[in-house]
Amino acid sequence: MRASTYAPGRGRTAPDSSFGRRDPLLTERATHSTQLVREFFHYARLPIGLADAQASLIAKWMLVGFVHGVMNTDNMTISGESIDFGPCAFIDAHHPSAVFSSIDQLGRYAYGNQPHIALWNLARLAETLLPLVAADADTTGAVESVTEVLHQFLPRYEQHWLDGMRAKLGLRTALPDDRALVDDLLARMTDAALDHTGTFRALARVLRGSEPPPEPLLAWMGRWRARLAVEGSDDTSTAAAIDRVNPLYIARNHLVEAALATATDGDLTTLHELVELLRHPFDESPGRDRYALPIEMMRAASTVGAGSVTAAIERLDALLTEAMDDISLRPGRSDAGRVMNGH
């Protein structure tokens, strides 16, 4: 998030064109008595749209267990799009402190910290916009105006995120106790190191009766089923709704690394299979169950002669063994977090 330094007579062209592309409404000019008043209202509303765009984006990351890696201010866009990834990854075992960067020893960009880092970045952008928002040389009023907008960010994020979590759980309505239900689920997932992606897809299979509930979630399941009963939803339609919003296949680190390893050896089979699955992440592909598993479960499911996937995993294990001497691992980091890419 970079903005031009403002000085009288210059510095407005870049913000005008950039924000106009983000939201045409931002370029509207109501009829006011002076140009100064027109510009004040134009630029004062900029942070509102930006804050909501970032809140929506980060909520989507969190819902699918995505970690950007290095959320510096220059790695975020005013358009609310994902760019310039660091050592990014999707988490396997759910944990708020999951990191994937060898230099992020303090967890600044950890999975659970991403909403707060986004707010910090927005605050830095807001500082550069103060001269554009201010009605005169005194920026006191502008600081208060922009601060008020920044204070809205986390509530906006929470709303986007909670709406998304309701959808992931097959809930169609909003009730006050939903946040507690979600928090309890995530706490149990963390304590039991349950796979983030796989756990939500498993809920649909439980409703269909095709597999038993995960043991760590047995007590929580009762509360969830009671909440579904409030809506009067049948299990079949709820399971279908859960599958529509929870991906089965994601670009897990070990899959990406395995595809790259075999591709480097001249075999593009695993790469092509992975790309094809990621084009339709919600649709189950028969015979490709391994692509939906975290690395430990994938190893357990693999058998001798199981094809290119097994060979890729074996090659990946060898590469990781060679690299371990150069990697400083944080305690408790998931297996996926051990795949470092030089950052």
- Yes or no: say if 86 and 75 are a contact pair by the CB < 8 Å rule: yes
Q: Which of 60, 93, 82 has its CA nearest to residue 168?
A: 60
Give pLDDT, residue 46.
56
b/e sequence 10-42, b meaning 16+ C-beta within 10 Å: ebbeebbebbeebbeebeeeeeeeeeeeebbeb
Give pLDDT, residue 35.
47
Token look-up 């759910």 returns 94
Is 298 exposed, middle or buried (CB count within 10 Å of its CB: 0-12, 13-18, 19+)? Answer: buried
Segments of the chain with pLDDT less than 70 = 1-48, 135-138, 296-343
Give pLDDT, residue 24.
47
Give pLDDT, residue 53.
87
Catalytic residues: 74
Give pLDDT, residue 298.
54
pLDDT tens readout for residues 261-300: 999 999 999 999 999 999 999 999 999 998 999 876 655 5
- Yes or no: say if 291 and 249 are a contact pair by the CB < 8 Å rule: yes
Give pLDDT, residue 215.
95
Give pLDDT, residue 63.
98
R_g (Cα) of the chain, nearest Å? 23
Give pLDDT, residue 145.
79
Give pLDDT, residue 260.
94
> Quick one: which H or E segment has residue 90?
strand 89-90
60/64 Cα distance (integer angstroms): 7
Give pLDDT, residue 150.
87
Structure tokens given for 35:
């140009």
- Considering the entire predicted model, what is its pTM? 0.76
